């Protein structure tokens, strides 16, 4: 049997033919599919042989390369996509692939790729998200299971998910990075209470807070070794940044990250020109300078992406290079939204979606622009990552790195008690 891979061009032609016949173009309102529709579409994509393109065949993938994945993303751009699966495929599945046991991978990876399991990330906690190694959620080992208690927050689309990848503390006497473990937690467990959080966008982001009250999971749900959760979390964060920035295994599952621009909403400046023409400000030099600024930021982001993306794919750039793209997106998305709001003037005011609403919604874009500079790690955290892990600059001082976590907590509690 020949083991020769299908060429990228042959694959691209096959993908194009299938997409033309089977996938709908995305309408101007750019709404996401309902969960049941996203599941059905992901299943269709799987059946057609385009899910998990660069994932191994034995786990339901296609056994091709990230270059094939990129070709798929280019061909499928502008179509209605199963965005709900971005976290599952681009962030969780690849982490599971690297760290989970063989039986776990055989059971869950094909289900993720077939659209049967939606996964989310249970990482951030009310006490803080940037210092993720300081999680307070506790997992206690029983004979053949683990019991997990704690609080997680800002979980995107938790209400639609089947499982969460949950970082919890399993050794309180080890330093904070060395006492963590990662677990697969079924979100249908009755000992989980889930509350929605109303975001600045009126709830469109679908944030949730979860209270885990003695959730029991089998020992087989431990992903990676006991107390080795930080390594698993690091893999997940790396893939998360890559996925947001348009690199990796989930490219073309959703449209976020296409060309390093954080999604299709930022392609070009034609919307800004349309606003200025509509408002009669197109000849105003200040407005023209703002449009030029937006154009330059967009072009720079695309050029950086075109260098970094293939570099990561070909492994010439190893490590945290996704942070470079993510930081660019975090900065540019906010500035682009400000420029959009200025140029659209009164048209930028937010109002309900509807047939008569002005379709560009610059006000809405401005309200959600902060998402990009916070979610997946804030801009400050990306700067730290770039300086320490890419530029090899001296690390941020971390006096707590070698201190047992229980001592840190005791010190913190004494401070808050005033004792
Ligand atoms: C759109 C979106 C989706 C999200 N989805 C999820 C999800 O699905 N699952 C999940 O677990 N979480 C999710 N989050 C949460 C996100 O990961 C956290 O909000 C983020 O990590 C920051 O944590 P925090 O909000 O607790 O802020 P904090 O960590 O409290 O930070 C507050 C401020 O201090 C700054 N800061 C903190 N530490 C440093 C430092 N060492 N150096 C310099 N500055 C620092 C930060 O940059 C920030 O400005 C999401 C957030 C958003 C916006």
Identify the pLDDT of residue 351: 65
3-state secondary structure of 146: strand
Distance, in Å, from the CA atom of 335 to the CA atom of 324, rounded to the nearest integer, reads 17
Q: Taking all residues of the chain, what is their mean pLDDT, rounded to a whole number?
A: 90
Identify the pLDDT of residue 259: 47
CA of 382 to the centre of ligand 1 (A): 11
CA of 240 to the centre of ligand 1 (A): 13
CA of 379 to the centre of ligand 1 (A): 9
Residue to probe by mutation, ligand 1, list 374, 376, 382, 384, most atoms within 8 Å of CB: 374
CA of 372 to the centre of ligand 1 (A): 11
The pTM for the full model equals: 0.92
Instruction: Compute the CA torsion angle 74, 75, 81, 84 (nearest 10 deg).
Output: -40
132 lines ligand 1 (CB under 6 A): no
Q: Which atom of ligand 1 is nearest to the CA of 121?
A: 9
Going by their DSSP bridges, the two strands 207-218 and 145-156 should be labelled as: antiparallel
Burial (CB count within 10 angstroms: exposed 0-12, middle 13-18, buried 19+), residue 17: exposed
Identify the pLDDT of residue 399: 84
Residue to probe by mutation, ligand 1, list 32, 123, 129, most atoms within 8 Å of CB: 129
CA of 380 to the centre of ligand 1 (A): 10
Task: Give CA separation, 245 vs 258, 263, 322, 343, in Å.
Answer: 8, 9, 6, 27
Backbone angles phi, psi at 112, to 5 degrees: -65, -45
240 lines ligand 1 (CB under 6 A): no
Token output for 229: 């959760």
Residue stretches of the chain with pLDDT short of 70: 1-2, 28-30, 256-267, 350-361, 415-419
Distance, in Å, from the CA atom of 281 to the CA atom of 285, rounded to the nearest integer, reads 9
CB burial of 283-302 (b: ≥16 within 10 Å; e: otherwise) equals eeeebeebbeebeebbeebb
Identify the pLDDT of residue 358: 47
Distance, in Å, from the CA atom of 169 to the CA atom of 177, rounded to the nearest integer, reads 9
Q: Which atom of ligand 1 is nearest to the CA of 127?
A: 26
126 lines ligand 1 (CB under 6 A): no
Identify the helix (H) or strand (E) that includes residue 122.
strand 119-122
Nearest residue (by CA) to ligand 1, atom 22, is: 129
333 lines ligand 1 (CB under 6 A): no
């Amino acid at each position: 049997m020949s083991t020769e891979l299908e060429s990228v061009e042959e694959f691209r032609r096959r993908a194009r033919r299938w997409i033309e016949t089977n996938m709908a173009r995305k309408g101007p309102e750019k709404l996401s599919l309902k969960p049941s529709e996203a599941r059905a579409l992901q299943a269709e994509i799987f059946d057609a042989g385009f899910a998990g393109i660069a994932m191994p065949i034995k786990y339901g993938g296609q056994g091709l390369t990230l270059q094939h994945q990129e070709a798929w993303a280019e061909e499928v751009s502008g179509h209605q996509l199963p965005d709900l699966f971005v976290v599952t495929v681009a962030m969780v599945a690849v982490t599971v692939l690297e760290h989970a046991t063989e039986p776990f991978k055989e059971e869950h990876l094909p289900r993720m790729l077939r659209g049967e399991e939606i996964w989310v990330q249970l990482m951030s906690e009310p006490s803080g998200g940037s210092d993720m190694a300081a999680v307070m959620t506790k997992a206690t080992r029983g004979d053949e299971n683990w019991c997990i208690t704690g609080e997680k927050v800002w979980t995107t689309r938790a209400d639609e998910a089947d499982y969460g990848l949950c970082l919890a503390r399993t050794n309180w006497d080890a330093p904070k990075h060395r006492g963590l473990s990662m677990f697969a937690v079924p979100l249908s467990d009755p000992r989980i209470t889930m509350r929605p959080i109303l975001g600045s966008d009126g709830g469109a982001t679908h944030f949730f807070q979860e209270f885990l009250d003695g959730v029991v999971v089998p020992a087989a749900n431990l992903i990676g070794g006991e107390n080795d959760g930080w390594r698993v979390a690091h893999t997940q964060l790396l893939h998360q940044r890559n996925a947001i920035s348009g690199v990796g295994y989930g490219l073309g599952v959703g449209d976020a990250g296409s060309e390093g621009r954080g999604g299709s909403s930022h392609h070009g400046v034609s919307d800004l020109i349309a606003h200025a023409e509509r408002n009669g400000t197109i000849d105003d030099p200040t407005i023209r300078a703002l449009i030029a600024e937006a154009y330059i930021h967009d072009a720079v982001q695309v050029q950086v992406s075109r260098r970094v993306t293939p570099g990561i794919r070909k492994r010439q750039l190893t490590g945290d290079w996704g942070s470079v793209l993510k930081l660019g997106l975090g900065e540019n998305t906010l500035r682009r939204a400000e420029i959009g709001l200025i140029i659209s003037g009164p048209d930028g005011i937010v109002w309900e979606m509807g047939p008569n609403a002005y379709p560009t919604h610059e006000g809405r874009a401005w309200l959600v622009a902060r998402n990009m500079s916070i979610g997946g790690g804030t801009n400050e955290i990306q700067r730290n990552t770039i300086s320490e892990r890419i530029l090899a600059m001296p690390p941020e001082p971390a006096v707590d790195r070698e201190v047992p976590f229980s001592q840190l907590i005791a010190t913190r509690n004494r401070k808050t008690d005033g004792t």
